[in-house]
Amino acid sequence: MNYLFIVIPILSGIFLGIITGLIPGIHINLVASIIVAYSQYILKLLDSTTIILTITSMAITHTVLDIIPSTVLGIPNAENLTMLLPAHKLTIEGKAKLAIIYGLLGSALGIITTTALIPLIIKLIPYTYERIKDYIGYILIAVSIYIILNCKNKVLSAIFFITTGIIGILSFNIKNIDQPLLPLLSGTFGLSSLILSIKNKICIPEQKEVSLEISKREAIKHSISTTIASLLTNFLPGLTSSYTSIISNKISKLKDQNHHIIISNACNSSSTIISFIAFYTLQKTRSGAVAAIQYLINSINLSTLILIISISLITLAISVTIAVKISNKIIKIINKINYKIINICIILLIIIIVLIITKISGMIILITTTALGILAEIYNIEKISLTGCLVFPVILYYLI
């Protein structure tokens, strides 16, 4: 067997995953869409299997490394620690390394636990989907209502959910935009936080050496609850890992909010594996990476699935090692980082990418969603209320 057939796609995917994982605005879906757009040329140089393995490796690396920018970038006003995300809070407390370790642990647990349960998941997915497929729209409505009712400001959360939902519907119906999700998500969840963080004079303290603050029992419980939650949400298009995290939190009865970092990252990685399994069992896609794979080959057989999962596990081991080394270097200089300059550079990068990919129409969407994201942060509205831009169009699709 020619080992270069395996090594080259893994290394190529890891390289791309490092770029998408560390640089906000360059999302894995964007890279996957570019691969699809130029697939006729790429396929002249590489066979489809090589491209599929590269995409797989990129997807896993992205989910692993994503914890690093999530920890050290976009930190809002730190005067009120209760308003910070767990990873940002730990960074302000000088425990950025602990936040990253939690994230990497979650990514590993999500992939490993889901992989161990694959024989069961392969049977559960088609069985469950057949029984809920006619009710997906109603289930999404019920889940959305449940989320809004659990928000602190229910009225404003409902208004933001519906407003972003309307913007999402309009965005998906603009014919000259190939990637409507790019301006939608970049503005709502990226640009808004970065803009607000510019005016905040963030002072990052010297980071401490920390040890893992979780028992093996808790880790196992979180990983199992995450896999269960990922199974539930991966049947429902439009639901992000934020919904998965909420369900997993309820199952785990989370007490330590810092452990939310573990669950959040475990949900991301578990969902990635389950999306491959769903493609195998249902021939349906739940992510940009899997959609790119479906474009290259209409379906996958069991041997291809096994190869994809094997590549995922190999990539996991390598990417976690890389993430540890990169994060250690970042942590050493974290208190010297000029956040204002970095945030401005990332903002400009996002604007340039959106302008190139989606033109003026995309820029209008970006400005609108950024404004909504800023308003949501000003009024302390949970960002999950802004996922209406994804859920609302899907609800209408299934009900109309």
* DSSP annotation string for 148-171: HHTSSSHHHHHHHHHHHHHHHHHH
| % of the chain at pLDDT higher than 90 | 27
Structural contact between residues 20 and 34, judged by C-beta atoms closer than 8 angstroms: no
Residue 357 has pLDDT above 60, yes or no: yes
For 205-215, give one letter per residue: b (16+ CB within 10 A) or e: eebeebeeeee
Residues in the chain: 400
- Give helix 4-22 / helix 48-65 axis angle, nearest 10°: 40
If we measure between CA atoms, which residue out of 377, 383, 388 comes closest to residue 196? 377
Residue 330 has pLDDT above 90, yes or no: no
Cα 96 → chain centroid? 20
Mean pLDDT within 328-353: 83
Q: Could you give the dihedral angle defined by the CA atoms of residues 301, 303, 309 and 315, in that order, rounded to the nearest 10 degrees?
A: -120
pLDDT for position 370: 94
Structural contact between residues 148 and 154, judged by C-beta atoms closer than 8 angstroms: yes
Q: pLDDT category, 244, cuts 50, 70, 90?
A: low
Give the chain's largest Cα–Cα span. 61
Q: How far apart are the first and last CA of the chain?
A: 52
- Give helix 48-65 / helix 288-296 axis angle, nearest 10°: 180
Burial class (CB in 10 A: 0-12, 13-18, 19+), 123: exposed
Q: Considering the entire predicted model, what is its pTM?
A: 0.85
| Cα–Cα distance, 329 to 347 (Å, whole number) | 23
Read off the pLDDT of residues 6-36 as tens digits, 9 standing for 90 and up: 888 899 999 999 998 888 767 787 788 777 7
Of the candidate ranges 85-89, 91-95, 373-377, the one whose mean pLDDT is the lowest: 85-89
Structural contact between residues 65 and 319, judged by C-beta atoms closer than 8 angstroms: yes
pLDDT for position 37: 73
Residue 283 makes CB contacts below 8 A (sequence gap 6+) with 294, 298, 299
Backbone angles phi, psi at 89, to 5 degrees: -60, -45
Q: pLDDT category, 212, cuts 50, 70, 90?
A: confident
